[in-house]
Structure 1
Amino acid sequence: MWLLLPILAYTVIFVFVRHIYSYWRRKGFPSESPSLSLHFLAQVYRREFRHVDAISDAYQMGRDRLFGIYCFFRPVLLVRNLELARSILEQSYGHFSECKWDYVKGYRRINLLERLTPIFNSSRLSAMFNNAQHVANHMMQHLLDKAEQGQVQLDMQQLLRVFAVNIIGNLIYGLDVNNFEQSDHILNNFVKRPVQCCGLQSFTLRNVPQKSSLAYRLLDIIKRNVALREMGGIIRKDILQLLVLFRNGNDLSGDKWSAENAYEDDKLLSIQRLAKVAEDLLHSALDSIASTLTLTLYEIVQQPLIVEKLQVEIKELDLVHGQLQFEQLEELRYMDMCLRETLRKYPPLPIIERICRKTFKLPNTKFSIEEGKTLMVPLLAIQRDEKYFGEPLKYKPLRFLHDKSEKTSEQRRTALVGFGLGSAQCVAQNFAKMVIKLALVKLLHNYHLELDADSNVEVSHLPAPFITSKDGLKMQLKAREIVTQSNYRKNSF
């Protein structure tokens, strides 16, 4: 009798697991053959399993536009064709949008992602640029203090994460903070290396909400600064000021910065919700800005010719006392190509992952994806596919200058995603590009950079790209002798 109980239990578990791992076959989708190897289990046990790498391997396995895979007990539909992915995410009418950006106020349902987009248009960013440059000057002063001997060696990844945190503190939280000097500030908690999820958590618990241990302290900062702006009439040209405008029902598309305060019951956002928006922006912007900046420097310092071209392009801007103007960012054409190549090789969001909120017929296919099932677009794998980019592991900014065939040019334009696509596109990408270009101009204008000869750099995705080597990105900086005249022609790339 007692022997039958474990047999019955094992039978139920076996049938349950077999039912899950036959999901895509039963629905008629092309799919992988599920297997569970000892090597895989050992990787998970040793915390060596890489979620992003596993998805990239699955992309290589399939040949169809849609490919069913399994993330432990979770059926996931992998979209291998970028045009189809664009169609799904742009024409799904909210079927795959993130719930965290939906907000209900009274009888109104607000999609914050759409309503906050005007915060990052050119006129708003131009007004914020002086504050951003003030933060960049803090970084340069910090390097100047360390370089009194004429040369300095440091972990650039750590430096640039502090810079990114300072930018976020100043423009999103409204704090005049300089974490190069204030080592005990709350935002310094975000400078540390991101915590990598283990394989089990990456595959099974990615959508479980996790409460930040710092959320309540960040909420207090938001409460204090919002009160100062609403009651004291303080106006500061930053993102927080625009969030206060939106909270009070003001139009964000104009040039107005002063808020017309509404009664508490009429405000579109509660303080708690505004603080959550700020925290979401902090997490997404920090990794995007810091990783793109770090990996751009890592790639270009290995090719002195690229650094030389960038420095000559910066000289052509004719900076006044080393200060950059917002309009001059558009003139950095070669730097823009370098950023596009970095975003191709190291997308800040290597995988777009969305849960279907209602059964949806996939466009131009015979298939439908059911409510609750996960859809993935493997951006990293697509942007490193030789079908779109020749020699994908090489850093070649000039691949975006021109193409011999119109077909190749269109393929590359379509395949390069960078900051996401469709409903998963980052609304703050122009803000991130502005900050990244500003930091690169400051560093390349003032210093020669050289990668430490003993560095053994390894890039992993956690999930954002991050240098996991012991010393980070170790570089030597040597002050440059600024040349004011150049015979270099702007178009001679």
Structure 2
Amino acid sequence: MWLLLPILLYSVIFLSVRHIYSHWRRKGFPSERAGLSWHFLHQAYRREFRHVEAICEAYQAGRERLLGIYCFFRPVLLIRNVELAQTILQQSNGHFNELKWDYVKGYKRFNLLEKLSPIFSSKRLNEMFGKAEKVGDGMVRHLLQNIKLSESNGTGRDLELDLQQLLRVYAINIIGSLVYGLDVNNFEQQDHILSSYVNHYRVSSSMQSFTLGRLPKKSSFTYRLRDLIKQNVELREDGGLIRKDILQLLVKFRNGNDLSGDKWQVEHTYEQDKVLSIKRLAKVAEDLLKISLDTIASTTTLTLFEISQEPLIVEKLLAEIKELSSNEDGHLKFEEFDGLKYMDMCLKETIRKYPPLPIIERICRKTYTLPNTKFTISEGKTLMVPLLAIQRDEKYFSDPMKYKPMRFLHSQMRDNDTDSCQDIRKHDAFLGYGIGGAQCVAQNFAKMVIKIALIKLLKNFHIQLDSTLAESVEINHQPAPFIQTKDGLKVKLKSRKIKS
């Protein structure tokens, strides 16, 4: 009798697992062969399993437009066709919305990202531009002071530093200034809550993102950041403080004010009529912090990493920067940023090769029949679009691992880039900013602050990367790309001055 109980238990477990791993076959979808190998278990035990790389391998495993795969015990439908992915995410009528941005107030349900999109309009960014440039100037001053200190100590005119860490601090200063309304300089102030956030950015493991990515994560940082938001909201609502930043516009939205106008003043409403609670507003700010920090830091770092290996690209960028005019006090002009065409191409090429979000992942909210197919995905099942794999696919981008900004030049293309430009026009496979409802509404904000960092660094410093280091650098995704070496991305900076 006692022997039958473990046999029954093992049988139930076996049948349950078998039922899960036969989901796509039972539904008639093309699917990978499911199974647990000793190699996978060894990687999982040693915490060496890489989620993004595994998805890319699944993308390359066949030719079907759809492929059913399994992320541990989770059936996932992988979309391998660009046109199909665009159709699903643009015309699915809310079947695949990201739930964390859905918000219910009274009898109304709306998507917060859509409501907050006017925050990142050109008009609003123009007025925030001065604060962002101030952060860039602070970074330059910090580096020049360290170069002078290095010279006075007799260690030479070159300053050696971790470029990746430098740009994470720059990004957190931008977010502190514009999202949290703080005049904080984390280059000098090492004990601030936001500097602590920078130093604890790799606490989650890749295994967690593979199996437990949907579990809520709370820490003491969340509550401390909420206190910062509460203090600043009270200053703006009760103290009448007006500051041209993202937080000011979030407070206006909280009070039901129009975000598309010219005013920055908050028109107060009764507490029971406010659209967002302090807790919810703090959650929005923290989500912006996490997304913006990784996007800004990784894109700027990897752009500099790539162009530092290509002197010709640096020369072209310096020539473009030299054409920028400046005010009497030496500040840049926001309206001239649209004229940085070659820098735009460099940013696109970086995001193509290293997308900040390598995978778009959505859960089906109600049963959905995939367009122009006989297949139906049921409620609760996960859909994935592998941006990284698509943008490194040779059928869309010739020589995909080569850094070629000119592949994005559509009208005036050079002869040696003709084929790659034709690839872009034919397939329209650049998805780096997202698709449809999964498109980043803050992309113009991110591009603005990234361009500020690139201009300030290239204009004031010569960046030298060790050629041996460049060959051995390993880039990992967790989920945003970062350079995984013992000392980060070590570079040498030397002062440089270019005249307009």
> Does TM, scored on the shorter chain, surpass 0.5?
yes
Tell me the alpha carbon deviations over residues 349-381 of structure 1, each in whole angstroms, 9 at most, x when there is no partner.
Answer: 000111111111111211111011000000000
Instruction: Provide the secondary structure at the position in 2 that maps to 1:337.
Output: helix
**Partners of 2:280 and 2:434 in 1: CA distance:** 24
1:157 to partner: Cα distance: 0.4
Cα RMSD, aligned residues only: 1.4
CA distance in structure 2 between the partners assigned to 1:409 and 1:54 by the alignment: 26
**Secondary structure of the corresponding residue to residue 147 of structure 1:** helix
Superposition pairs of residues 52-67 of structure 1, within 5 angstroms: 52-67=52-67
1:107 match:
107
* In structure 1, distance between residues paired with 2:105 and 2:161: 49
Q: Which amino acid aligns with 1:221?
A: L
Structure 1 equivalent of residue 274 of structure 2 = 267
What is the alpha-carbon distance in structure 2 between the residues aligned to residue 204 and residue 358 of structure 1? 23
Whether the 8 Å CA contact 1:120–1:431 is kept in 2: the answer is yes
Residue type of the alignment partner of 2:346: C
Counterpart of 1:487 in structure 2 is: none
Residues 396-440 of structure 1 show CA distances to partners (whole Å, capped at 9, x for unaligned) of 11111136478523235x211112212111111110000000100
Distance 1:197 1:49 in 2: 13
8 Å Cα contact 2:206/2:478 also seen in 1: no
Q: What letter matches 1:224 in structure 2? A: Q
User: Does 2:469 match 1:461?
Assistant: no
The counterpart of 1:383, out of the listed 374, 391, 405, is 391
Deviation at 1:193, TM superposition (A): 5.7
Structure 1 residues 368-379: aligned runs within 5 Å: 368-379=376-387
> For structure 1, which runs of at least 5 residues remain unmatched after alignment?
485-493
1:96 corresponds to 2:110: no
User: Which structure 2 residues correspond to residues 126-205 of structure 1 after superposition, within 5 A?
Assistant: 126-148=126-148, 149=151, 150-192=157-199, 194-195=201-202, 197-205=204-212
Q: How does 1:414-453 map onto structure 2 within 5 Å? A: 414-453=428-467
Which of 308, 317, 332 is the equivalent residue of 2:324?
A: 317
Q: Is the 8 A contact 2:424 2:430 kept in 1?
A: no
Cα deviations by residue, 1:89-112 (Å, 9 ceiling, x for unpaired): 111222111221111112222211
* Correspondence for 2:45: 45
Amino acid at match of 2:498: I
Alignment of 1:464-483 (within 5 A): 464-483=480-499
Q: 1:308 to 1:322 in 2, by over 3 A?
A: farther
Alignment match, 1:346: 354
Deviation for aligned residue 1:196: 6.0
Give how far 1:186 is off.
Answer: 0.4
Match of 2:29 in 1: 29
Deviation, 1:202, is 2.3
Equivalent residues of 2:362, 2:382 under 8 A apart = yes
Structure 2 Cα separation of the partners of residues 123 and 199 of structure 1: 39
Residue 453 of structure 1, CA deviation: 4.3
Q: Equivalent of 2:256, from 239, 242, 249?
A: 249
Distance between the aligned counterparts of 1:422 and 1:190, measured in 2?
A: 31
Q: Contact (CA 8 Å) 1:196, 1:462: kept in 2 or not?
A: no
Unaligned runs of 5+ in 2: 152-156
Secondary structure of 2:75's aligned partner: strand
**Aligned partners of 1:153 and 1:322: how far apart in 2?**
27
Identify the residue that residue 239 of structure 2 maps to in structure 1.
Answer: 232
Q: Does 2:406 match 1:362?
A: no
Aligned partner of 2:154 in structure 1 is: none
Q: Which residue of 2 aligns with 1:279?
A: 286
Asked if the contact 1:49–1:198 (Cα under 8 Å) also holds between the matched residues in 2, the reply is no
Other-structure match for 1:75? 75
Which amino acid letter does the alignment assign opposite residue 374 of structure 2?
Answer: K
Distance of 1:193 and 1:333 partners within structure 2: 36
Corresponding residue number in structure 2 for 1:488:
none
- SS of the equivalent of 2:76 reads strand
Tell me the distance in 1 between the aligned counterparts of 2:133 and 2:199.
24
Paired residues, number? 483
Structure 1 CA distance for aligned equivalents of residues 272 and 204 of structure 2:
40
Matched, 1:122 2:129: no
Identical positions, percent: 67
Runs (4+) of structure 1 moved beyond 4 Å? none
Q: 1:411 aligns with which of 422, 426, 451?
A: 426
- SS of residue paired to 1:423: helix
**1:244 Cα deviation from its structure 2 partner:** 0.7
Q: Which amino acid aligns with 1:472?
A: G
Specify the alignment match of 1:395 in structure 2: 403
Alpha-carbon offset, residue 276 of structure 1: 0.6
Separation (CA, whole Å) in 2 of partners of 1:15 and 1:349:
36
**Structure 1 residues 322 and 449, CA, compared in 2 at 3 Å: closer, same or farther?**
farther
